[in-house]
């Protein structure tokens, strides 16, 4: 690789520019007209306006991005997170234009992006999966299917995430109405109305394992991140290591995540997400993100790695620079700011934050 188009904006675009500079690569930034003065434009070696402010006309315009990449003689495209990072069609279009897509292969993106197929893949790899439906539905299935899984149920969008198209159903009387709402929201958000069903566990932790693979058959994990503090199914706090896991559970969860990416022949960065029931000592696979995540610096801080630089190296065909063991130490916490200051000032939340900081410092 010689020149890379950075198909994103903001913090991850700046991070990619720094990696390019460190690896001796030229960076080409794109920006919407609303971002004409954004730092990522000025930091890159070259910058091109991709379109007007609406994301669909700029950062989500796959055809325009490919055209700019080819016209500017780029060898590769870095999607970062969000926008087109997990868009299988975009990855295919990059390959068709002879551009290296700095991320996983098209097949992995497609299979793990379809939530029902992802569950099937995980189960086939021997990974514990949350009890749920074996298919997705665009209209409410019979109550017998819901009762077989067991209430309370969690309705989830097959084609997306981030809490959209998600509903908790406590009983059969609310099932039909909640399904219709979830399906309509999923259609609006992702263009896909399909919903699948999972058993809802009210008292669990949300723990994810950072994984990485290369084209030489190496598949490793870099420990876990605990993202249990959420609001409306959106993560607010990420920390590593998880304060909820004992060592045997931590090891089993990491082994399960590694088994999954090995079964996929997975290449580049990814995250395998689990729910963990501390009262029973059980964990279950819920989904996989086939990209780098916003919270990746938490893992970098405790492992001493540069995951974005590793994405570039692996995409260029190099072997992973770290093995199955790494120098983990200390603790790291990432907070996401929200627009509800009254929530951030809440007494319970403030006590929790203070406790986590004391733990990290000690």
- Among all residues, which ones are annotated catalytic? 291
- Residue 241 preceded by cis peptide, ω within 30: yes
Distance, CA of 100 to CA of 78 (rounded, Å) = 9
Length of the chain: 362
Residue 127 · residue 260 · CB < 8 Å: yes
Which residue intervals of 265-306 are DSSP H helices?
296-303
Beta bridge partners of 301: none
Tokens linked to 17: 């520019």
DSSP 87: -
Burial class (CB in 10 A: 0-12, 13-18, 19+), 259: middle
Q: Do you find a cis peptide bond into 152, omega within 30 degrees of 0?
A: yes
Where b means 16+ CB within 10 Å and e means fewer, 84-110 reads bbbbbebbbbbeeeebbbbbbbbebbb
**What is the Cα–Cα distance from 120 to 136, expressed in whole angstroms?**
12
What is the bridge-based pairing of β-strands 26-32 and 3-6?
Answer: parallel
CA distance 167 to 233: 10
Q: Which two tokens stand for residue 82?
A: 């969000």
Which pairing describes strands 282-289 and 234-235: parallel, antiparallel, or unpaired? Answer: unpaired
Taking a C-beta distance cutoff of 8 angstroms, is the pair 16, 4 a contact?
A: yes
């Amino acid at each position: 690789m010689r020149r890379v188009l950075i198909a994103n904006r903001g913090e991850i675009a700046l991070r990619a520019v720094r990696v390019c500079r460190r690896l001796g690569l030229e960076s080409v930034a794109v920006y919407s007209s609303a971002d004409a003065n954004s730092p990522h434009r000025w930091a890159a070696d070259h910058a091109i306006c991709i379109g007007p402010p609406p994301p669909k006309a700029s950062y989500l315009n796959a055809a325009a991005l490919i055209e700019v990449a080819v016209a500017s003689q780029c060898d590769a495209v870095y999607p970062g997170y969000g926008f087109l990072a997990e868009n299988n069609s975009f990855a295919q279009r990059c390959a068709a234009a002879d551009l290296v897509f700095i991320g996983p292969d098209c097949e992995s993106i497609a299979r793990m992006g379809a939530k029902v197929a992802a569950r099937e893949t995980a189960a086939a790899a021997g990974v514990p999966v949350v009890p749920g439906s074996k298919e997705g539905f665009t209209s409410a299935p019979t109550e017998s299917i819901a009762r077989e899984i067991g209430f309370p149920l969690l309705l989830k969008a097959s084609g997306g995430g981030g809490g959209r198209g998600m509903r908790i159903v406590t009983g059969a009387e609310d099932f039909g109405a909640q399904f219709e709402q979830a399906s309509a929201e999923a259609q609006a958000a992702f263009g896909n109305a399909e919903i699948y069903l999972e058993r809802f566990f009210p008292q669990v932790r949300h723990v994810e394992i950072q994984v990485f693979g290369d084209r030489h058959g190496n598949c490793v994990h870099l420990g876990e991140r605990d993202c249990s503090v959420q609001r409306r199914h959106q993560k607010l706090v990420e920390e590593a290591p998880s304060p909820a896991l004992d060592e045997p559970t931590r090891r089993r969860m990491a082994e399960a995540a590694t088994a999954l990416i090995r079964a996929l022949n997975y290449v580049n960065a990814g995250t395998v997400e689990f729910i963990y029931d501390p009262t029973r000592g059980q964990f279950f696979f819920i989904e996989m993100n086939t990209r780098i995540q916003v919270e990746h610096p938490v893992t970098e801080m405790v492992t001493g790695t540069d995951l974005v630089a590793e994405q570039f190296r692996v995409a260029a065909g190099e072997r992973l620079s770290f093995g199955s063991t790494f120098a983990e130490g200390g603790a790291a916490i990432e907070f996401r700011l929200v627009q509800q200051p009254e929530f951030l000032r809440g007494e319970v939340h403030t006590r929790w934050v203070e406790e986590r900081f004391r733990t990290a410092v000690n």
